Structures are given as structure tokens and as C-alpha cells.
Amino acid sequence: MSQIQASAQFAQTDDNTYRHITWRLMPLLLISYIFAHLDRINIGFAKLQMSTDLQFSDTVYGLGAGLFFIAYAMFGVPANLILDKLGPRRWISLMMVTWGLLSTGMLLIDSANGFYALRFGLGVAEAGFFPGILVYLFRWFPAGRRASITALFTIAVPMAGVIGGPVSGWILEHMQGTAGLKGWQWMFLLEGLPVVALGLVIMARLDDRIEDARWLSDAQKQAITQALAGEEARKQISSWRGIFSNGQVWLLVAVYFAVMLAVNTLAFWMPALIHSSGIARDSQVGLLTAIPYLAGCFFMIAVGRSSDHLKERRWHLCVPILMCALGLTLTGLQPQSPLLVMVGLVIAGMGASTALPMFWQLPPAYLNSAILAPGIALISSLGSVAAFVAPYLIGWMRDNTNSASLALYLLSLMITLGALLVLRTPSTVVNPR
């Protein structure tokens, strides 16, 4: 057998191994993250009824929506440290059962203080889920395959909008008054309880480590372990001190801040922006919110594959962030025009959905395995403060100017600055070899 033939055979075996891992892990993780993100965006749909029923101002809603991310920022690092102690299977299962019960409990709120308390509790319960899953995936897949696999995982974000928008709109409109509950109460009940069941499935099905996977051969396990070990020597940061002293880490925090501004502006305010453009029925608003997310699904998978194929990371992140800034600007230009609002939201949705998985290709280029869990959690936690800023800023602007346009312009500017910072990362470090 020639060297070329041997190389091709090895590559095919390698592809088959990672395809097997993908089919084993990703369906359950993807469904779990769909419900995790659905838990974040359904508050945007609940606002359509809940704010009227409970007499919440836009500022109260924005504060409550944003408190989730204050808790998320505070508890992200401790949560990922616990993940390394208990193991992913136990810790992820416990988090999901807890947040499923808290999300269901949202149907009981009757005051602003109750709203604030449950949103903060949800942030504590979910703090370790997304960064924990990223750490888990990065310990199974080498750098050259991570853009595609991260895009496949985070496709849950737009898919939650595609599925959750129409479903949430239907529940709000058609379950209103059933069994004495409001539509928004039914929404929290029907979208919260399945998470508890998924948490129990995670406990039964997830393997903590490559070594625990009885469905892989010893040769496959050894090949994966060697591929991952070969990347470790090139990484610059191996200690807590390195995380805090390396300027590139703080640059990544600033970039992630911009990405979170983009993602959460859409997650929390898209239904309200569409409603304000003149779309009155909740079910129609739900259907229209699915369009930007559906476009994002296709775009993020295409960009992830392109990034892995070309082995390029910076422009594959910078351009989607700029798209989101452009889309939000268009949305703010004519907030009473359904057509222009939808065009802006589709562009912004494609950009935000894609920026999230592409960003997470950068931190593992710097962090070695010993510091990967707390490092990713720290970047995620600090960057997620933006998720408090976005909903609160728009809520405050709407209450005081009767328009979200000025807030959208300001957010677009900050997101653009984040996109430009991406180009300050060295391509020799962040691009896979």
C-alpha cells in the first residue's frame, strides 16, 4: 500500500470515528440546549401578556430578564469547577433538573420581586450548562473539527427560535384561560417540565470521559487522546495567573461581550420589535420570529464548515458580528415598517446565530486542558454581563423615549467595535494547523 493510500485510509477511519462520536453525543446535547435557550427566549414571548397582567413596565421586564445573566456571570466559574469535580454526567443532569423546576415555577409569579427572584435563580441553575458543554465537547474533538461541531451544537439557539416562536405564540393565544391559567403560565409549564425529564436522560446516557465510552474501541480512544495531546504543547495559558495576566483573554472577553449583545437583543426583544411594527396577533408574531432563526440555522452550519475547511477563524467571526450590527441598525430605522424590521432582524439573526459558535473557536487556542474549564467559564461569565445590558437598555429607552431605535443604534455601535477587536487576535494562534 502506498503512503498516499495509507494516509487516505487513516483519514477515512478518523472521519468514521468522529462521525460515530457525533451521532452518539450530539442529538441529546442538542435537544438539551434547545430547551436551555427556549428557557431564555420564552420570557420574550411571555412579555406580550405577562407585562399587561402583572402591570410590569418595560424597565421592570428588562431588569428581570437581565438578572438571569447577572447570576449567570456570578456563578459560571464555580459551576465549571464543580463540573470537573463531579463529572459532566452528574453535574449537567443536576443543573437541568433544577432549572426545569424553576422555569416551571415561573407560572406562579405575581409580583416584580417574585419575577426578579426566579429569574436570578434560573441564572444560577443554568450558569454552568453552556460553558460546561463546550468544555465537554472540546475534550472529545480536536481543533480542526471544532467549528463544525460547535456550530452543530449551537444550532440549538436558532432552532429554539424556529420551534419556540410558533409554539410559544400558539400557547399564548390558544391556551389562554384553560384550567384557569393564563397563556403565559401554560407556556412556562409546558416548556419547563420536559427539561426535568431530559436531565434524567443525561444521567443515564452521557459518558464523562473518552475512556468511559464502551462504544469506542481501544484504538479509537488512543487515536483521539493522541490528537488532543498533540495540541497542548502549542497553548500559551496553563494557570489561573495566566488567564488574568494575558491581554488576549481580556480581548476575548470584550469580543464575547459584543456577541452576547447581539444574541440577547434578539432573544429578549425580537417579539416586541415585531409586535411594535404593527403585527398584532401573538401567533403571527411567533411565526415571524422563526424566520430570522431559520435563516441563522443554515448560515451558521455553512460558515462552520467553511471555517474548518479553510482553517480560518477571524474573518469567519468578524463578518457575522458586523452583519448583526447592520441588521439591528436597519431595524431601528423604520420601527413601524414590518418589512424593514423583518429584513433587519433576518440579517441580525443570521449574524448573531453564527457569531456564537465561531467565537468559541478562539479561547481553546490559548487555554490548555488543565485550565480550560475555569477559563471558558470566566470568559463566558464576564462576557455575559452584556446579556443584562441589552434587555435593560432597550427597556429603559422604550419607557423614556417611546422607541427602541436609539438603543438599537447604540448596541450596533458596541457590536461593531467588538467585531473590529476580532482582527486584533493573531491568526497564527487562533487558526487551526
Q: What per-residue confidence (pLDDT) applies to 398?
A: 72
For residues 81 and 377, give the distance between their C-alpha atoms in angstroms, rounded to a whole number: 9
| Residue 285 near residue 279, CB atoms below 8 Å | yes
Residue 207: strand, helix, or coil? coil
Residue 2 has pLDDT above 50, yes or no: no
The DSSP-derived string for 24-86 is HHHHHHHHHHHHHHHHHHHHHHHHHHHHHHHT--HHHHHHHHHHHHHHHHHHHHHHHHHHHHH
pLDDT band, very low/low/confident/very high, at 9 (cuts 50, 70, 90): very low
Could you tell me the domains of the chain?
20-430 (1.20.1250.20)
Q: What is the tens place of the pLDDT at every residue in 69-85?
A: 788 888 988 988 898 88
For residues 402 and 395, give the distance between their C-alpha atoms in angstroms, rounded to a whole number: 10
Residue 308 has pLDDT above 60, yes or no: yes
Ranking 66-70, 102-106, 398-402 by mean pLDDT, the lowest is 398-402
Ranking 75-89, 161-175, 204-218 by mean pLDDT, the lowest is 161-175
For residues 72 and 382, give the distance between their C-alpha atoms in angstroms, rounded to a whole number: 9
Q: What per-residue confidence (pLDDT) applies to 399?
A: 76
For residues 178 and 171, give the distance between their C-alpha atoms in angstroms, rounded to a whole number: 10
Q: What per-residue confidence (pLDDT) applies to 4?
A: 42
Nearest to 70 by CA among 386, 408, 337: 386
Nearest to 246 by CA among 366, 135, 131: 366
Q: What per-residue confidence (pLDDT) applies to 385?
A: 75
pLDDT band, very low/low/confident/very high, at 390 (cuts 50, 70, 90): low
Share above pLDDT 70 across residues of the chain, in percent, rounded to a whole number = 94
Q: What per-residue confidence (pLDDT) applies to 387?
A: 65
Q: What is the tens place of the pLDDT at every residue in 315-368?
A: 999 999 999 999 999 998 888 898 999 999 999 999 999 998 999 999 888 888
Of 59-63, 131-135, 417-421, which one has max mean pLDDT?
A: 417-421
**CA 358 remoteness from chain centre:** 11
Q: What per-residue confidence (pLDDT) applies to 417?
A: 95
What does the mean pLDDT of the chain come to?
A: 85
Kindly state the average pLDDT of the residues 389-403. 71
- Between 117 and 237, the higher pLDDT residue: 117
| Residue 289 near residue 342, CB atoms below 8 Å | no
Q: What per-residue confidence (pLDDT) applies to 320?
A: 96
Query: What is the dihedral sign for C-alpha 30, 36, 37, 42?
Result: positive
Q: What is the tens place of the pLDDT at every residue in 23-63?
A: 999 999 999 988 887 877 777 778 778 888 888 887 887 78
Which residue stretches of 55-182 are H helix? 58-86, 88-105, 112-126, 129-138, 146-154, 156-174
pLDDT band, very low/low/confident/very high, at 258 (cuts 50, 70, 90): very high
Query: What is the dihedral sign for C-alpha 423, 424, 425, 427?
Result: positive
Q: What per-residue confidence (pLDDT) applies to 164?
A: 75
Most distant CA atoms of the chain, gap in Å? 75
Nearest to 421 by CA among 367, 373, 362: 362
Q: What per-residue confidence (pLDDT) applies to 15?
A: 82
Q: How is residue 374 written as a grid cell?
A: 475555569
- This prediction has a pTM of 0.77
